[in-house]
Structure 1
Amino acid sequence: MAAPLEVVVLGARIGGLAVLYWLRHRFPARAIRVTVVERWATGVFRPELVHALDRAPGFVDHLTLNTERAVRRVYQARWVHDTAVRIDPRARRVHLAAGAPLAYDVLFVATGVDPAWERIPGLGPEAGGICEAHLARHTAVDLAGHPPARLVLAAGPWSGDPASPHLTAGFDMPLFESALLWDGALRRRRRRDRHHIRIVTPAPVAAEGAGPAGRRRLTALLEQRGIAVTLGARYRAVEPGHIRLEDGEDVPYDRTIWTPPYAGSQLARASGIDDGYGWIPTDGYLRHPEWPSIYAVGDIGRLTVPKHGHQALIQARVAVTHLWATLHGRTPPAPYRPWALWALETGDGRALLDYVAPAPDGGLREWAWWGRPVAWAKDLFVITYLALGGHLPWMP
């Protein structure tokens, strides 16, 4: 009997759990031995952290997922509570911060990327954010106690190979959702006329990751709600009370909420498997072109739309199915093509859904809806995802 395939998965957030889902569905248990390396025993469903703007601080507790239990019980994988610090692709070893190196036959890297707060002078996590649980909790506490007259929601840039197409803003879509939620919260308190809301983004258009119809609907909502938007921002520095831009404009604020700049992964750089800019290059099957035993899923891969959970779900399916097809001499799946699926709550019990998918003719097709059923569907997805540990009845 052949020895089982040694599969190591780095990261157990949305992308990593999706890899485990497809491994379990494609391979019999006796054929593979899966080890997951993750530094946090519990995780949080980060897309919902935007509700720091319209809920009490305790909301974060209801978004928590026991990652270790899900990995062990739901996916029946070995759990290693540690941090990967270097990958040796030649020896097929993952070096850990505390434990002994792990050998692998196949490696899935789904660790995400590192925030690069230092890329903007004067910026740091203390400026406020919603990208991690502790930042969102602090934001909720601060807004509840001291509602600012001037709230600025600012997105850091997404830095990569200038020769490769990529979005300008690292993570601005949640800021549009947060601004609309804050607007709705203020209107319910009948205090909206006392507060100014502004979004600042490096992107040339609002919601550059969405399709044309979604951008038009979102832009109309922002205009109706009186939410100002500054596009094409190039940051010079963040100072108390002001964000200074390269064009000389000062953006005044009483409080800010940031999504940080992103400049790739230190793990990828330290391992010498990045593209020179911190991202892991891949082919259409999410496999490293030089080291075919390595797949990159989610933000860490160069072929992705940043900070987009739906992308990671699709990438996991393509990568694992490609592995299965390669090992069994089958026809590989269709290569991955970027999709976009955004569901933004608009603060009034409704949500905007924008869905951009590859069309059979090689182009793209888009559907955009706005209404209460979209908000209900989003709530149902979140509840189901958390209750089932990411093991959904259906996956894209």
Structure 2
Amino acid sequence: MNFITEIIENGNGTMLLLLPFLLALITAFIAFPTIIFIAHAKQLVDVPDKRSVHSKTVPTLGGIGIFFAVAIVLTLCGAFLDAKLLMPVVGALIILFFLGVKDDILILSPKKKMLGQIIAALMVILITDLRITTFSGILGIESIPYFLSIGFTLFVFILIINAYNLIDGLDGLAGSVGLLVSLFYGFLFFNMNEMTLTVVSLALVGALIPFLYFNFSKVRKIFMGDTGSMVVGFLLAFQSIAFININQLNPLAQFHLNAPIIVLAILFFPLLDTLRIFYVRVVILKKHPFSPDKNHIHHHMLQLGLKHWQVTLVISIASTSVLICTLLAQNLSVNIQLLLVVMAGLFMFSLPFFINYSVFNKRIKLNRLLKKINKTNLSRAK
């Protein structure tokens, strides 16, 4: 154990945790204006089409700023915290960074992107041995054999990375979800005294705040791009699996029996949207699961008349509510918790549509009443 970890664990160096956050924040704020200028100068921008929710050309290289901010923090902190854990993560991020930049500029085939994601995930799984070792009794399943554990952990990595990529279709949505999820994990890791993982969470939070500032800007707007969605999605997957692994290996941990349920609650929105969009595309529309369309949950919320920031706010509130419900029910059996998470999540993310339906019906009834009044007035006038 090094001296910085000792200082923090003794309760005398909590303020030191602000350093990685501030370093990522300042690095990103400095990087984004330069990236935006270069992207416009070299025409490395997204041209709006019929699927776009924007009307102007926008740079798509926001992931570069996010990557550099996070990579600088993790590289510097790796010398003082758990280098064995952080260095493989940095190596995996470098792989995803170059794949993402090539895809944002030249377009990369889905197979090559998937291969890169698999290599990056396996690098972290095999070197750090961070993996899901048991299903914690969910559906009666307990321990998992070693190779099956590696395969399932790899599947979870790829699922979360691509689920996060699929929600990147609205100003502020992907950035806000990434920020919220990392805040949740940062709080949990800090309470678990896992300072290395807390630094990972804070670094991502610090990088995403400047991104959201420019992502919402009308003058100097920038998109996350595939670089950003893969880098952020990978870090969210890493935090999720690390949270499950640490709790499963410690019988005295607060979330020893329900860590996978907590992760499901935290990531409920991107996982729900991915499952729903795959069902709509494959089963209903008979299309390729990765074919682009406007059937995402956030697209339907826009159709309700909500603005971009309002959709992001609704999804953030719903996600927080699902996590709170899960934490309140953590003393129940794991399968009951699973049922409650699914029910709470479906209810919270369906609520805006139920409210809109109710308002729509009231408007119809009001219009009918006004028509009756007008007819009555006309008949009396005659």
TM-score surpassing 0.5?
no
Rg larger in structure: 2
Q: TM-score, normalised by structure 2?
A: 0.29
Q: Which has the higher strand share?
A: 1
Q: TM-score, normalised by structure 1?
A: 0.29
Q: Which has the higher helix share?
A: 2
